[in-house]
Amino acid sequence: MSNKFLKLKNYITKKMSMSHIYQPLMLIELIKGNGKASGSNIAKSFLSYDETQIDYYKKITTLMPFKYLSKHLDEIKKSKDNYIFEDFDLDKNQKDELIKMCSNKLESYIKKRGIKKIFSHRTLASGVISGSVRYKVLLRAKNRCESCGISNKEKALEVDHIIPRTKGGKDELSNFQALCYTCNSQKSNKDDTHFKKILESYNHRKKRMYLL
């Protein structure tokens, strides 16, 4: 039996911890492609569960599943916009079994969390943010989540409406803040917390402490 098959089987069944649905979907695409999958095809796999911007998911591919999968499965490499599982030598039965295991992981996670909750932060209520506005918001936030402070290099950042559009919030720079996908998901469209003001207040208190 292939060592690659055993390694993948062990990772899927025993080591894969999921904070979203991306890892099993990426593995399914790599397995289907005999160890090769383009960023676009992986993104389209994500889109089968959430029909949103494909560029967003191409970025997600790099920051989330690839980062974690390549840490445990060092054969998974990135070359420009393509992802490769090196020395991929599984037969059809092995591939079918691994895909089934990934699908079971996926179904279990969706059943536990609910598909609407998983993608609640990507609903149309959040609006479509232009690239230029997104750039300004992230630049103002210094490419960090304005709630938890995590860097854009570690977790994908999203442009959030401080006052949700569902509550009359406008599509303008003063109503936008940068949040990581976790904080944005937790905030939802029912909360109008202005995290930027919270951080500014915290930084002000730190400065006062240094002066005392």
pLDDT at position 198 over 70: no
- Within the chain, where are the H helices? 3-10, 22-32, 39-47, 54-63, 65-72, 92-113, 115-118, 131-140, 181-187, 195-211
Rounded to an integer, the average pLDDT of 158-182 is 86
DSSP state of 170: -
Q: State residue 172's pLDDT score.
A: 87
Q: State residue 103's pLDDT score.
A: 96
Q: State residue 124's pLDDT score.
A: 43
Q: Mind spelling out the 3-state secondary structure of 93-133?
A: HHHHHHHHHHHHHHHHHHHHHCHHHHCHHHCHHHCCCCHHH
CA distance 111 to 31: 24
CA distance 128 to 50: 15
Rounded to an integer, the average pLDDT of 159-165 is 86
Q: State residue 205's pLDDT score.
A: 46
pLDDT band at 191 (very low <50, low <70, confident <90, very high): low
Mean pLDDT of all residues in the chain? 83
Share of the chain above pLDDT 70, in %: 81
pLDDT tens digits, 47-69: 787 655 667 778 788 878 998 99
Rounded to an integer, the average pLDDT of 38-47 is 89
pLDDT at position 153 over 50: yes
Sequence spans of domains, the chain: 3-118, 121-211
**Residue 153 CA: distances (Å) to CA of 5, 59, 98, 179, 192:** 31, 11, 30, 13, 26
CA distance 79 to 81: 6
pLDDT band at 189 (very low <50, low <70, confident <90, very high): low
pLDDT tens digits, 113-147: 888 777 765 554 445 566 778 888 989 999 899 99
pLDDT band at 13 (very low <50, low <70, confident <90, very high): very high
